[in-house]
Amino acid sequence: MKGKRLLTCAEALAEALHEEMERDDTVFIIGEDLTAHDGIFGQFKGLSSRFPGRVIDTPISETCIVGAGLGAALTGMRPFVDMHFADFVTTAMDEISNQTAKIRYMSGGQVDVPLVIWAPDGGGVRAAAHHSQCLEAWFVHCPGLKVVVPSEPEDVKGLIKSAVRDDDPVIFFQHKKLFSLKGPVPEGEYLIPLGKGKIKKEGMDITIITYSRMVHVCMEVSEELRNEGIDAEIIDIRTLRPLDMEIIENSVKKTNHVLIAHEACLTGGFGAEISALIGERLFDYLDAPVRRIGAKDVPIPFSPPMEDHVIPGKDAVKEAVKQTLRG
């Protein structure tokens, strides 16, 4: 690893894929509208010209795209499947949940499935109900899949490279509002192990567990809370499956208060699983019940004021922190 440069999340993704395709000629990209516009977020810039024949445009059929990626993975290739929008996984659920996730188990471990399904998710871009969902909890509930949710360019690069090299299927959710976010990214070889969270800010009063875009919302809130005498610790868990419970346990034992924040709707969201694990393992360390915040349980509206009302923002996080500390 060399020095760091400022890159966007889109540029970090393109760099990671360039390095992996250079290193391993079994890596290829498949999906819709990849070559003409370098992907709809510019995330595949320069790859089709650098690696002719290995960035493959497909018809508009997620069933076929994921199915083709799975078939290629079973033959020893390492496909990177672009879902265009995370919402479109609904048209490939059989291929993902009944085939990709289960084949290693059903074959008695005889086959690897080195497949990455890349799914841009999240709201806040005024794209309405069919292009704005956070669906990560569906796939954490599906044994056999690994689920990744980065929040910044450095993590995009390190986690993408680890996902591509993994012999099990990985669903990689990348929030659409973060594509233009800039941050320092290491040059050259740089990997982050799947299943390792990161403390974004240390604190003593409350642990805020979060991921993806909500990391940035919580970080902003933590600065405002500091001015009010509240010292929050922020954990970016980065991967949901496998989950880094060690980093969560160490933090909760220190702060004795927990808030879990995600953009996905609250009911059945991954925050409920974290809350249950904390209740089972760390109950005696809690001075107040674990609190969760997420989007309201409605489809994401197109109207900007309505979307802003549905998706949790700084005010919701701040109020939830204060309610948790009040116990």
Given CA atoms 3, 6, 12, 18 in this order, what sign does their dihedral have?
Answer: negative
What residues does 116 pair with on adjacent strands? 80, 170
* Residue 117 φ/ψ region, left for φ over 0, alpha for ψ in the -120 to 50 degree band, beta for the rest: beta
User: What DSSP character marks residue 95?
Assistant: I
Measured distance CA(17)–CA(163) in Å, rounded: 11
Q: Of these residues, 18, 84, 130, 131, which one is catalytic?
A: 131
Question: Do the beta carbons of residue 128 and residue 301 sit within 8 Å?
Answer: yes
Question: Do the beta carbons of residue 223 and residue 252 sit within 8 Å?
Answer: no
Cα-Cα-Cα-Cα torsion 71, 163, 58, 95, nearest 10 degrees, comes to 50
Report cis status (omega within 30 of 0) of the bond before 242. Answer: yes
Q: What is the DSSP string of 219-254?
A: HHHHHHHHTTT--EEEEE--EEES--HHHHHHHHHH
Residue 196 burial (10 A CB sphere; 0-12, 13-18, 19+): middle
Q: Is 131 a catalytic residue?
A: yes
Q: What is the DSSP string of 24-40?
A: -TTEEEEESS-SSSSST
Residue 73 burial (10 A CB sphere; 0-12, 13-18, 19+): buried
Structure tokens of 252? 């909760």
Measured distance CA(276)–CA(278) in Å, rounded: 5
Question: Do the beta carbons of residue 269 and residue 292 sit within 8 Å?
Answer: yes
Question: Do the beta carbons of residue 24 and residue 167 sit within 8 Å?
Answer: no
Enumerate the active-site residues. Answer: 131
